[in-house]
Amino acid sequence: MIGLCIKYFHENYGGMLQALATVTYFKRMGLKYELVQYEKCYSKLEKIKQLPRLLNGILINDKKEAFLKKMGAKKHPEFLKNDAIRLKSFADFKDRYFTELSPVFKGYKALCDGANRYSAVVSGSDQLWSPAGLPTNYYNLMFVPDSIRKISVASSFGVKQIPWYQKKRTAEFLNRIEFVSMRENRGSEIVEELTSRKVPTILDPVFLLSKDDWARLIPEKKELYEPYIFAYFLGAEESYRTAVKLAAQKLGCKIVALRHLDQYVPSDESFGDYAPYDVDPARFLNLLRGAKYVCTDSFHGSVFSIIHQKNFVTFNRYKEGSKHSKNSRIDTLCGNLGLQDRRFKNNCDLEKLLVAPIDYDSVFQKFVQLKKRTDEFLNEAFNGIE
């Protein structure tokens, strides 16, 4: 049996859909698996050892976003009620699609002992190797014994540089993992810099399923019958909302928006002609499928736009040069598939960019090569596992 250490429980549309793609791939390949359930249970000494983690800049930024969302909910009871509706939609989806679960391992010792259930343990996708999470020793598979195969599938550091004080420990866990693949070109470069290992950059798990595969998994359902722009923004940049409003007016489109996702965003209150909250990942996918255009600052928002051959524009969620930037994953996605011209830049005409045709035949040719590399890695990594 294979243990999967992935974020199937996090209330994020892209993250939950990539987890669904991962388990669907395992089922299709006839690989028996279970999602590893780990409940942290720190002693006083272990809590003290965790304190330096609180000084990590990326973690501080993530906590800041969570804090702003919490404060927004306190100040705006209507948002609190609506957010509860969205969270319920996520919970129902999770319970419906993620049923192969391990026992709950309470505490790190129980997790280490539980690893012996498996012939291999897999981690990957999202920013599971972010420097902010290094001390937990979970997604980096440090709890897995040397005798058990360890595999990373399209892993991501989420940053362009590993902090100097974490390089030794990062190299340590990388050297323990027999099969390493990354989701970003920069991630593969970091692995080589720290370990001298050349590892492949492969496709995110959502690309393991074709457009038709996704239609079989999540049946298509039309939400609206008039042309609309699907606006899926995780960041809080108000100028992006303004640009979408202007483009929608010129194009004669409505705007379907998902408001207040990673934090409470004041400008979201007036953003979107239709802004539903009872949206689970399946409905999210159908809102994207039905859109005439897609505007997003999300990696997976961009990926699903490509899979469904939408006219899309990707915005930078983080400013260039920001210490907390996670733009490298989108840089790799657009660069490897020849879609650099779908990036929004300040002062560009969003209307013209949205209507500009995308040569999806050329994109598919590049995709085929990346898919071949991905399949080769997966076949080698899982070879011999029943």
Q: 180 with 291, same domain?
A: no
CA–CA separation, 43 and 318 (whole Å): 36
Q: 201 with 225, same domain?
A: no
Q: 175 with 273, same domain?
A: no
Structural domain range at position 363: 219-368
| Domain presence at residue 28 | yes
pLDDT recorded at residue 135: 78
Q: Which of 92-106, 158-172, 192-206, 278-292 has the lowest mean pLDDT?
A: 158-172
Q: 54 with 157, same domain?
A: yes
CATH number, position 340: 3.40.50.2000
CA–CA separation, 131 and 184 (whole Å): 16
CA–CA separation, 63 and 56 (whole Å): 11
| Domain presence at residue 325 | yes
| Domain presence at residue 91 | yes
CA–CA separation, 232 and 32 (whole Å): 34
% helix, strand, coil for the chain, step of 5: 50, 15, 35
Q: Is the pLDDT of residue 325 over 90?
A: no
pLDDT band of residue 384 (cuts 50, 70, 90) is confident
Q: 203 with 276, same domain?
A: no
Among all chains, which residue has been given the structure tokens 């040397």? 146
| Domain presence at residue 214 | no
Among all chains, which residue has been given the structure tokens 């595999």? 151
- What is the Rg, in whole angstroms, of the alpha carbon atoms belonging to the chain? 21
Q: 274 with 176, same domain?
A: no
Residues 353-379 have pLDDT tens digits of 999 999 999 999 999 999 999 999 999
Counting residues of the chain whose pLDDT is more than 70, the rounded percentage is 89
Q: What is the mean pLDDT of residues 92-103?
A: 96
| Domain presence at residue 330 | yes
CATH number, position 377: 3.40.50
**Do residues 227 and 289 lie in contact, with contact meaning Cβ atoms separated by under 8 Å?**
no
Q: 229 with 104, same domain?
A: no
Q: What is the mean pLDDT of residues 244-259?
A: 97
Q: Is the pLDDT of residue 193 over 70?
A: yes
Q: 197 with 245, same domain?
A: no
Q: Is the pLDDT of residue 242 over 80?
A: yes
Instruction: Give 225's DSSP letter.
Output: S
Q: 17 with 46, same domain?
A: yes
Q: 191 with 263, same domain?
A: no
pLDDT recorded at residue 40: 86
pLDDT recorded at residue 104: 96
pLDDT recorded at residue 110: 95
| Domain presence at residue 386 | no
CA–CA separation, 363 and 58 (whole Å): 33
Q: What is the mean pLDDT of residues 10-20?
A: 93
Q: 62 with 193, same domain?
A: yes
Please spell the DSSP secondary structure of 35-95, one letter per residue: EEEEE----HHHHHHHGGGGG-HHHHHHHHHHHHHHHHHHH-HHHHHHHHHHHHHHHHHHH
Residues 26-59 have pLDDT tens digits of 999 999 999 999 998 766 665 565 655 555 556 5
| Domain presence at residue 255 | yes
Residues 330-348 have pLDDT tens digits of 888 999 999 999 999 877 8
CA–CA separation, 119 and 148 (whole Å): 6
pLDDT recorded at residue 319: 63
Q: 204 with 343, same domain?
A: no
| Domain presence at residue 281 | yes
Instruction: Give 122's DSSP letter.
Output: E
> Encoding tokens for residue 59?
């973690």
Average pLDDT of the chain is: 90
pLDDT recorded at residue 105: 96
Q: What is the pTM of this model?
A: 0.90
CA–CA separation, 306 and 383 (whole Å): 30
Split into its structural domains, the chain has a count of 2
